[in-house]
Structure 1
Amino acid sequence: MSASEQVRTFTVEEEDDGIRLDRWFRRNLPEASFGMVARWARTGQLRVDGRRAAPGDRIEAGQTIRVPPIDEPAAETGRSRPVRETLTPDEVDFVRSLVIHSDPAAIVMNKPPGLATQGGTKTVLHLDRLLDGLAEEGGPRPKLVHRLDKDTSGVLLVARTPRAAAFFSKAFSGRTARKVYWALVVGVPSVEDGLIELPLAKQPGTGGEKMHVDQGEAGQPARTRYRVIDRAGNRAAWIELQPHTGRTHQLRVHMAAIGHPIVGDGKYGGQEAFLTGSISRKMHLHARRLRIDHPDGGRIDVTAEPADHFRESLASLGFDPALGDLPLDEVRYSDTPEGKRRAAGAAAKARRKGRRGERRSRRRDEGGH
């Protein structure tokens, strides 16, 4: 295979919006060392949206990153390839017990609440660390292509190969994947089938750890479809949520913003997010279903059973689990006239932004002569 055939292109996901390019590599392609990334930048091989990029550049959701071949000889790179961490037999058994679907391109797991998807400064135990336990003998390390919050349970897809990872990442960033969540919320929405359109931004002073509704320039468009499945008087409701965009903490912020925080979500709902009695204080948000095109044709369509505390709360509130899976609408908001109008507006805005960037680049080039 020639070097040009090994070049890959990735689309920046919403979860990586605003981070530095070198951090994107640490998150998504840890096998590419910082020295390797810096060398690509110096030689003009590293590009974002077709333009030369530096490791310290900030990237935005929807941008494309051109990644040169990584599999270079150790003598040429000056570094050896990363050594996989050895997992204990119990850790291997645990991560394999989470698998609910497996094929040559994908692994789908039912992530338990309390398990972080990726590591951080104070997070040692996380799902990404355990993925070596799912690698086939001599095969590549499986790769995360989307994430769930630590306290959210449910369907999480992992790609087996780089080709599959690129395909699934494009499906998520292009919004062709359908994601369905279950949630228990405080109170009952007055509209049983609604669309929440409230722009979101990182809340100042929280280090990016918390989001809020922002109608100003910093707010990014965010849309959530919800449908009430059942209600327990006026005390609580069991609802289905479908995110039409993928902002950080979107479902949690949107439900709290309309006055019906997710049960157990004290971060966004405060004390009002907790119900008295036998209802668990854990967060009641579960990724119930994922439907996504498969790189080899056809679709993956998987559902995951909710965690114990969620099931117990359903029973305590008198909800029938058989009512939970509503028909999946084939027409999405993005396919409606309004959705298409907004998409066209966003595309025009992106083109204008691109032209501004080109003009700035020309001015810099002219100033340098």
Structure 2
Amino acid sequence: MIEILKETEDWIAINKAAGLLVHRTKIAAEEKEYFALQLLRDQIGQAVYPVHRLDRPTSGVLLFSKKKELLPLFKAEFAERRVRKNYLALVRGIPSLEQGSFDRALTNERSGKLQEAKTDYQVVNSVEIPFDTTGRYPTSRYSLLSLQPFTGRTHQIRRHLAQARHYILGDKKHGDNKQNKFFEQQFNLQNLLLHASELSFQDPVSQQSVSIHSEIPVHFRTILKELGFPVEEV
């Protein structure tokens, strides 16, 4: 059963599990599996319409409209950048600044054109462990980052962090294979450690401010504990 985080007569927010697609796509058209849209529709007994998307391996807050006619209003909030999105990611290394921005254009994967893309970050905490994961240093360092994307490009956070060489652990497409292999062998990591932890927006119908929070999933919290992060602060 899908975890419902908050619900009104107009919209519903869920905690999407890692590995769950938002809806059926051409790529996954032949796969015999469930999708968030289908599961939620069956669970609450009515049609729902995704307002935005999360990558398949990303967990966290996902918003649906219950009324098709309201979908343009919700989408406008995102398009006009009035929605605040916060993510948590566990990455390789420690950024040189405690907080900053990744403000680099990204190539559209379909058109090949460059698009502006900006992601703010803050270092929540960092650790150093006595393992050589690269074959170059006796220890390895990792950071838990809080990230706020201001644009919604495909895989934006994952690509920005890869450009900065702060690869997200468990990222099969944009990550570091050596790090992923180490964490699979040492900690049995099977998932991307990127979580949509908070979504804040103005309800376009009631005009009230809404903030929806999602706790990090068990697989993410387990890795943090194994590495020695103070998870009670997350």
Indicate if the aligned counterparts of 1:114 and 1:152 stay in contact, CA closer than 8 A: yes
Equivalent residue number for residue 135 of structure 2: none
Deviation, structure 1 residue 268: 0.8
1:132 aligns with 2:41: yes
1:270 aligns with 2:176: yes
Equivalent residue number for residue 171 of structure 1: 77
Deviation, structure 1 residue 273: 3.9
Deviation, structure 1 residue 151: 0.6
Deviation, structure 1 residue 298: 0.8
Determine the C-alpha separation between the residues in 1 that align with 2:195 and 2:118: 18
Distance 1:123 1:201, change over 3 A: farther
Percent identical = 32
1:160 aligns with 2:97: no
Partner-residue secondary structure (3-state), 1:256 = helix
- Which structure shows the higher strand fraction? 2
Amino acid at match of 1:223: K
Deviations 1:73-95 (A, max 9, x none): xxxxxxxxxxxxxxxxxxxxx23
Determine the C-alpha separation between the residues in 2 that align with 1:126 and 1:228: 33
Deviation, structure 1 residue 135: 4.7
1:248 aligns with 2:154: yes
Equivalent residue number for residue 314 of structure 1: 224
Corresponding residue to 1:222 among 110, 117, 121: 117
Equivalent positions of 1:218-367 (< 5 A) are: 218-233=113-128, 234-274=140-180, 275-276=182-183, 277-278=186-187, 280-294=189-203, 295-324=205-234
Q: Which runs of 5+ in 2 are unaligned?
A: 129-139
Q: Which runs of 5+ in 1 are unaligned?
A: 1-93, 212-216, 325-369
Amino acid at match of 1:178: R
Equivalent residue number for residue 133 of structure 2: none
Determine the C-alpha separation between the residues in 2 that align with 1:176 and 1:246: 12
Distance 1:158 1:240, change over 3 A: same
Partner-residue secondary structure (3-state), 2:177 = helix
Distance 1:279 1:186, change over 3 A: farther
Amino acid at match of 2:19: G
**TM, length-normalised to structure 1:** 0.55
Q: CA RMSD in A?
A: 2.0
Determine the C-alpha separation between the residues in 2 that align with 1:134 and 1:173: 29
The one of the two structures with greater contact order (alpha-carbon pairs below 8 A, sep at least 6) is 2
Q: Report which of the two structures shows the higher radius of gyration computed on alpha carbons.
A: 1
Indicate if the aligned counterparts of 2:169 and 2:176 stay in contact, CA closer than 8 A: no
Deviation, structure 1 residue 152: 0.3
**TM, length-normalised to structure 2:** 0.85
Number of residue equivalences: 215
Deviations 1:49-78 (A, max 9, x none): xxxxxxxxxxxxxxxxxxxxxxxxxxxxxx
Indicate if the aligned counterparts of 1:199 and 1:220 stay in contact, CA closer than 8 A: yes
Amino acid at match of 2:51: V
Distance 1:221 1:273, change over 3 A: farther
Partner-residue secondary structure (3-state), 1:164 = helix
Runs of 4+ residues over 4 Å off in structure 1:
none
- Which structure shows the higher helix fraction? 1
Equivalent residue number for residue 122 of structure 1: 30
Partner-residue secondary structure (3-state), 1:268 = coil
Equivalent residue number for residue 184 of structure 1: 90
Deviations 1:265-311 (A, max 9, x none): 12112314424422614210000000011121212211111121101
